[in-house]
Structure 1
Amino acid sequence: MAKPKVNTMEELSLAIGVSRPTLSRYFQDPASVRDSTVKKIQRGLEDVDYVPNFFATRLNRKSTGLIGVIIPHLNDLFFTSLLEVIQQSARAQGYTVITQSSHGDADLEQHAAGKLMSMNADGVIVAPLGEGSSARTFERLMTSMPLVFVDSHLPDALPGVPFVGTDNTQSISLILDYLCQAGESPLFLGMPKLNSNAMDREAAYLAEMEKRGLRSEIVPGSSQTAGWEFEAYAHDLMDEHFSNGRFRTGTLLCANDRLAIGALRAANRHRLFNRSGGLRIAGHDDHPLSRFMTPSLTTVKQQIDRIGEEAVSILAGLISDGRPSLEAKETRMFETTLRVRESA
């Protein structure tokens, strides 16, 4: 038999015989209501079909219990994996996550920030677009709530905002230690200059190659005008180079796995893995699909779990302490581990 549908707190009050103010206190904090009344409410809720309005139960609270997350793309498996960790960590601390995607567009990133402010979120974790981001957007956001950057940041515009990400100097050094065992000078295929990771990883490559006394070389391309379609960018660029007889042998280090996936596709099209002394390709990130490529991709694994958990931990601390983000100045960078597979 179907339970009677109850739509409002007033209807619920009549249905179970408890005053509306008492119900409101119960949904905000059950500990504020007498034990006998709590049991009466719980028994009554079992007999009706009622779902409390999330926002109505928080109208009189100082905290909404909401954490906002803004990421560049939902279809990027790195960000979806990071988001899953953030959601799990936030849930464990009693928060509900509201996710917004900027879709690689600065205007949408600004709109997402405004949406979270209108919802009175307690704090926000942002993987900023980088060069396309507006520092003014985040400065305005920080007047309403604490902010933590994750994966990439804006070191020039907002150097004091807490940041959690990967130690790119360590990760590039680690993969170069392995790739240089053969005595080669790996080429570097950089990311389009969209965020701090693009600049940091390229700078780390140049510094680490100089430290080893090896010649560095950046694969030439039009990355300044490229967008977030990394696989297509790398495929088209390397296909053109391979077609013109360039970079068909040796070692190619890609700034992320999505670039490496595109480069692998182009290399397979030219059958560059089917010959002795052919091309080697390596990436960065350990993308969920990297081990299923042909050949499987040698890369470095980021600590996504620790990055997501630490971002939530820092944000929850700021919320609890009532501290502005710029007073925190916390930076947490995690090391990577090597994943040797068939491609290099």
Structure 2
Amino acid sequence: MERKPTMNDVARIAGVGTMTVSRVLNGSANVTEETARRVYHAIEKLGYRPNEMARALRSLKSRTIGLIVPYLYDQFFATCAHAVNMVARDQGYSVMLTTSNNDPHTEYEEAQSMVQRHVEGMVIIPADIRKSRINQSDFSGTHIVTMDRPVHDSRIDSVQVQNQRGARRAVQHLIQQHKHKRIVFLGYNRNLYTVRARFEGYRRAMLEARLEPEATFECSSEEVTAEILSTMLQGKAPATAFFTANNLTTRYALHALVDSGVKVPDEVALVGFDDFELADILHPTLTVVRQPAAELGRVAANLLFDRIKRSEFPEEGSHVVLPVELVLRRSCGCKGR
């Protein structure tokens, strides 16, 4: 199917910025006659049709924002969503919540549906950012903030955490404090921005210690993870520690180790990225890199409402990075918290 022309295409043909195109479409007096002529010529040449609903939103106040997350069975996403909802409530807004199932096409359709329902802005945890179709041109009248993962459009505000730094610090702890040499990175989706960033932190820590990085991104279920771990724990030089990319992979790995009777941390150490309920009362308690899920949601929501109040669509968005914390418990080999 042929791609529909966007405001970016019009700006490129006319030799102006997208904000100038937007001003022309809105009848702004700040655009010269010559510039307007070039813009209209580009519109006619491309057959561009602006999103009338999105443009109408500038004057329409629904007091509703949209929220799109990959899914809700992950506690991290649920916590982020709850925090966004609490900020919206304080602002007197309602939240329209849906999931993308980590599918970029579904994500784009859900975002379009929200615009048609007059949301004033959207907070989105993007699916695969390499294929994400979320951009400010296609949603020119709607404020957008992404959290946890960015998109390629730098005009869109984003809030993330120190993924690479947190993973690097955790692996350094396993190497320096517990003398592990064969530490394996466990992930379930190489295409996720956060998993790739955390793998890079793991890889750097390993290379700095002159150790060989070893990773798998196939931990898609408990059964598959059990098979992978069984292979890695055999042979003359079995893995002595695992670093898991998120709490879903951590749960898969923990189930596999418990079911196979492998003792943590006596036989193998386990450190995961992201904390979750019960992690501090399991046996053993789990060492994790804790990311501020609630704060992530609060910051993203507050940033969105600031844009809505100011009616700002900047050429360069704000990109906030929140700190993470290494929480030492027993699964890494430490004796106490």
TM-score range with shorter-chain normalisation?
A: 0.7 to 0.9
Greater percentage in helix: 1
- How far has the Cα of 1:240 moved from its partner? 4.6
| Pair member with larger Rg | 1
Q: 5 Å matches for 1:270-309? A: 270-273=260-263, 277-309=266-298
Structure 2 length-normalised TM: 0.73
Gap runs ≥5 in structure 2: 1-56, 333-337
> 1:130 matched to which residue of 2?
128
Q: Secondary structure at the match of 2:141?
A: coil
Gap runs ≥5 in structure 1: 1-58
> 1:162 matched to which residue of 2?
157
> 1:209 matched to which residue of 2?
206
Change in CA separation of 1:76 and 1:60 when aligned onto 2, cut-off 3 Å? closer
Give CA-to-partner distance per residue, 1:285-344, whole Å, 9 cap, x none: 1022433544332101111222111101111111112122x5242111111112222321
Q: Secondary structure at the match of 2:274?
A: coil
Supply the distance in 2 between the matched residues of 1:340 and 1:122 (Cα, whole angstroms).
42
Structure 1 length-normalised TM: 0.72
Supply the distance in 2 between the matched residues of 1:166 and 1:80 (Cα, whole angstroms).
17
> 2:185 matched to which residue of 1?
188
Change in CA separation of 1:147 and 1:219 when aligned onto 2, cut-off 3 Å? same
Aligned pair partner of 1:149 in 146, 149, 153 = 146
Change in CA separation of 1:173 and 1:320 when aligned onto 2, cut-off 3 Å? same
Contact 1:131 1:193 in 2 (8 A): no
Structure 1 segments of 4+ aligned residues over 6 angstroms from their partners: none
Supply the distance in 2 between the matched residues of 1:109 and 1:328 (Cα, whole angstroms).
23
Contact 2:129 2:150 in 1 (8 A): no
> 1:336 matched to which residue of 2?
324
Matched, 1:79 2:77: yes
* Aligned residue type for 2:68: I
- How far has the Cα of 1:114 moved from its partner? 1.4
> 2:30 matched to which residue of 1?
none
> 1:256 matched to which residue of 2?
246
- How far has the Cα of 1:170 moved from its partner? 2.4
> 2:170 matched to which residue of 1?
175
Contact 2:195 2:245 in 1 (8 A): yes
Contact 1:164 1:311 in 2 (8 A): yes
* Aligned residue type for 2:107: E
Superposition RMSD in Å: 2.6
Q: Secondary structure at the match of 2:270?
A: strand
Supply the distance in 2 between the matched residues of 1:293 and 1:246 (Cα, whole angstroms).
30
